[in-house]
Amino acid sequence: MQRMTALFSAALLTGGLLSAQAAFAQQDPAQDPAAAPEQSQAAPAQDFSDQQLQQFADASQEIAMISQEYTKRLQEAEDETAQQEVRMEANEKMVKVVEDSGLDVETFNSIGQAIQQDPELMQRVQQMAQGQQ
């Protein structure tokens, strides 16, 4: 169970990174990109189908592995330019995983935020992920 919690924690942190990077690309950097999108994307559990939750569970596991790989590479990067390249490459891979799962990034982030606010939903998605192992 601790492994699954760690897996989802990493995935949710990464999901936040996806959201933040998308916000930076779409908004004026002087604005706070994390405030408004989080509020508008948070959604109750009943808004997500079992299929979407399963897609989230599957994608989260892959994203957690990517996150671990790229965290190490980020720590080894020699300067800010190299770090930014690593971040961009990781983000591209994570976006591809989400899209390949059948979800869009916005829905993935919305589910991640709903999970943070709803322990029952978190448990349900964890059970879905465990069923795939």
13, amino acid identity = L
What's the pTM? 0.68
Which has the closest alpha carbon to 18: 78, 75, 101? 101
Distance CA 37, CA 41 (A): 6
* DSSP codes, 78-90: -SHHHHHHHHHHH
pLDDT band of residue 14 (cuts 50, 70, 90) is: low
- Segment 38-93, tens digit of pLDDT: 444 444 445 899 999 999 999 999 999 999 999 999 999 999 999 999 999 999 99
Could you tell me if 41 and 106 are in contact, meaning their C-beta atoms sit under 8 angstroms apart?
yes
Burial of residue 103 (CB within 10 Å: 0-12, 13-18, 19+) is buried
Query: Tokens 């979407």 — which residue?
Result: 52
Which has the closest alpha carbon to 56: 119, 98, 113? 98
Least confident of 5-14, 71-80, 89-98: 5-14
Provide the mean pLDDT of the chain.
77
Indicate whether 104 pLDDT > 80.
yes
